[in-house]
Amino acid sequence: MEDDMRRRMIHGLISLALSLAAAWLATYLTNKILGAPEQG
């Protein structure tokens, strides 16, 4: 039971970290390809 809870917690943390990394990478690549968005 304890092992299963630890596994789910680690899975959730890794999933969150990878989701954030994917969102950052998508923004980074879009800005590299198209240029930074205009401010104002």
Q: What is the C-alpha to C-alpha distance for residues 28 and 39, in angstroms, rounded to an integer? A: 17
Q: What is the C-alpha to C-alpha distance for residues 10 and 16, in angstroms, rounded to an integer? A: 10
- Sequential pLDDT tens for the chain (40 residues): 799 999 999 999 999 999 999 999 999 999 999 998 887 6
- Tokens of residue 15, six digits: 């999933």
Global pTM reads 0.71
State the Cα torsion 20-15-17-30 to the nearest 10°: -30
